[in-house]
Structure 1
Amino acid sequence: MFLKYIYPVELIMGNKYLNQNKLVIISHFTYSLKGARVLVTGASTGIGEQMAYHYARFGAQIVITARREKVLQQVVEKCLSLGAQKAFYIAADMANESDPDKVVDYALEKLGGLDYLVLNHIGPSPFSMWKGDVDHTKWLMKVNFFSYIQMAWKALPSLEQNKGSLVVVSSLLGKITSPFVAPYTSTKFALNGFFGSLRHELAMKKSNVSISVCTLGLIDTDSAMEKVRGITDVQAYPATDAALNIIITGATRQPELFYPWFTYFIAITKDWFPSVTDYIIQNSYNYIP
């Protein structure tokens, strides 16, 4: 079924990109999100919340999860008002080893299967110089990485059966390094490495499941803005636009998204001009030793 929507999008198609904020008619992609069964993690706020609303407008069936039950309930109510065929929530803590499996089981029970698993949740981490907190780094890896691969493994049989898509929300900090975010950056590099390898394995097995890894720059979520306020003047981009680009990337089964578009060039030029890249990164922060 052809969908015809006009949206300001920025879509990576292989190594090609469309400039940000140009109106693009999405009429030549053979996909439909109406009735699609979707599980979105980290959906109580920020990009995850905006993805839930976009999926609702497309008429999808949605399960969302995060830690705060009261906020999840409000998001579900709005999803239903926006046109979601079904919307459910389950509160979960991804640092708890049993919760990732519990969430997938809940989604399979409520929706009868999965067409999209969208992994978006992250744990809080200080924006500061690393001071040797190994325990926090281990905890963050559990939330930002190990729970992702646990949920992916649990959902793969249903995704395989339904020719589904696995969408992984990552970061430019999974492609390049930066100060003040060593634990967070390590989790994103782990995500990119693992799901890049898994994509190869699924392709070699002729799997029906696509994997889309989404590389995001600075997005104007409340949590991100609170951390960088007064520290950097790097421009932040809208969470609602990032969310829509992620959804389209998954729906069109593209292997990668870079949003905003220039993050693609930052990712590739770090290997061409490493000294220049390091200089720019280190001088983009208002830091005095």
Structure 2
Amino acid sequence: MELIHTFLNLILPPAVFIGLFVTFPLVAFAKFVHGLIRSFRKEDLKNKVVVITGASSGIGEQLAYKYAKRHTRLVLAARREEKLNEIAEKARSIGAVETLVVPCDVTIEEDCKNLIEQAVNRFGHLDHLVLNAGVANSFLLAEAPETKGFSIVMDTDFWGNVWPAYYALPYLRARKGRYVVIASIASWMNYPRQTIYNASKAAVLQFFDTLRGEVRGEIDITIAMPGWIASEMTQGKFISAVGDADKDQDVRDAHVGPLPVMNPDTCAEAIVWAAEHRKRYIIVPFWYTSFLPIRFWVPEIQEWFFKKFLLPRGRNPPLSKTIVQKLEGKPFYPSGLKAQ
């Protein structure tokens, strides 16, 4: 058996590499043509039933408005019922055919089951399940005095996607529907201070990529990987080392740094466009794609950059925080948006 492994170690990697090198131009061209054809096959979303988790703010709120403009029937889920009612009213005013508000904590499995059941009981079926609910952590693992915050992030960002997906599966299969998964560039980009968040998003990416193979031809899956988007998280609402939502200005400055932050309206439009054009993945903003080859081919460069730019320098703050302070505490937020 060891001899077989030795043989495969010597033969298989170079054979695959050479094969990919030779066939890459043809495969890339075929994928380009296929993607171009699919781009013209736009899904008509009118009257489709769309469930959105984490719909009370940020990307989730804007996704509700984008789907509303396409005259869908919306089911909005989050913990803040009053906020959801306001968003539902606005969604109806801009085109939603009907709306249903369902208070839901995605960390509770029974809430997730109830969400899907209420949607189906009200509208009779389900077409799109948009999985957007999420929280992030901002602490170095070595600084965490306890592990309370770990499970909060994983329960929300991983199980909070898996449970609704599980209960929605038979209904989406019956309609040949779609999962729209709001993952993150954190699923493949090892951004500091987010060990648990990055792991949860990587788990989400792997879960839905695996599920894609299981339901191929029955349910489509679009996975969105946003970068820094103006939201409650990028404005300071992180899970701290002791499991609380930390709104401290220093946390936001050290965490986000002077990186350009995209408007959630623009991000949501790109995600819904990708869903209705049957895209498998979308990275938004697109320029984050340039980090992919660095991440997989020369990760040392990325690690060096993060260490020099985003981690504390002994007793000195991270270089990113110093830059933000020189910018008078203002990261590059979109016009009309500012940190709170």
Q: TM-score range by the shorter chain?
A: 0.7 to 0.9
Structure 1 residues 15 and 181: alpha-carbon distance in aligned structure 2, compared to 1, 3 A threshold: farther
Task: Tell me by how many angstroms 1:262 deviates.
Answer: 1.6
Out of 219, 224, 229, the position equivalent to 1:209 is 219
Distance 1:265 1:118 in 2: 26
> Once the two structures are aligned, what percentage of the paired residues are identical?
27
Q: Residue type of the partner of 2:151? A: K
State the match for 1:50 in structure 2: 62
Whether 1:60 aligns to 2:60 is no
Distance 1:100 1:27 in 2: 32
The answer to which structure has the higher helix fraction is 2
Q: What do residues 175-225 of structure 1 show as CA deviations (whole Å, max 9, x unaligned)?
A: 12121111111110110111111112222xxx3200111111100113312
More contact order relative to length (CA 8 Å, sep ≥ 6): 1
The answer to which structure has the higher strand fraction is 1
Out of 252, 259, 264, the position equivalent to 2:277 is 252
Alignment of 1:197-276 (within 5 A): 197-203=210-216, 207-226=217-236, 229-231=252-254, 232-276=257-301
Distance 1:230 1:144 in 2: 23
State the match for 2:94 in structure 1: 82
State the match for 2:9 in structure 1: none
- Kept in 1, the 8 Å contact 2:133–2:160? The answer is no
Gaps of 5+ in 1: 1-13, 17-25
- Kept in 2, the 8 Å contact 1:166–1:209? The answer is yes
Task: Tell me by how many angstroms 1:132 deviates.
Answer: 5.5
Task: Tell me by how many angstroms 1:97 deviates.
Answer: 2.5
Distance 1:283 1:225 in 2: 23
Task: Tell me by how many angstroms 1:252 deviates.
Answer: 1.7
Q: Residue type of the partner of 2:139? A: S
Gaps of 5+ in 2: 1-29, 33-37, 238-250, 315-340
Distance 2:109 2:39 in 1: 42
TM normalised by structure 2 equals 0.73
Out of 110, 114, 120, the position equivalent to 1:102 is 114
Q: What do residues 6-48 of structure 1 show as CA deviations (whole Å, max 9, x unaligned)?
A: xxxxxxxx977xxxxxxxxx99333211111100000000000
Q: Residue type of the partner of 1:129? A: L
- Kept in 2, the 8 Å contact 1:233–1:284? The answer is no
Distance 2:124 2:106 in 1: 23
Distance 1:47 1:15 in 2: 29
SS of the aligned residue for 1:34 comes to coil
- Kept in 1, the 8 Å contact 2:42–2:276? The answer is no
Structure 1 residues 133 and 192: alpha-carbon distance in aligned structure 2, compared to 1, 3 A threshold: farther
Q: What is the count of residue pairs matched by the alignment?
A: 263
State the match for 1:169 in structure 2: 182
Distance 1:276 1:15 in 2: 30
Distance 1:102 1:279 in 2: 46
Structure 1 residues 133 and 176: alpha-carbon distance in aligned structure 2, compared to 1, 3 A threshold: farther
Out of 123, 127, 142, the position equivalent to 2:138 is 127
Structure 1 residues 27 and 269: alpha-carbon distance in aligned structure 2, compared to 1, 3 A threshold: closer
SS of the aligned residue for 1:224 comes to coil
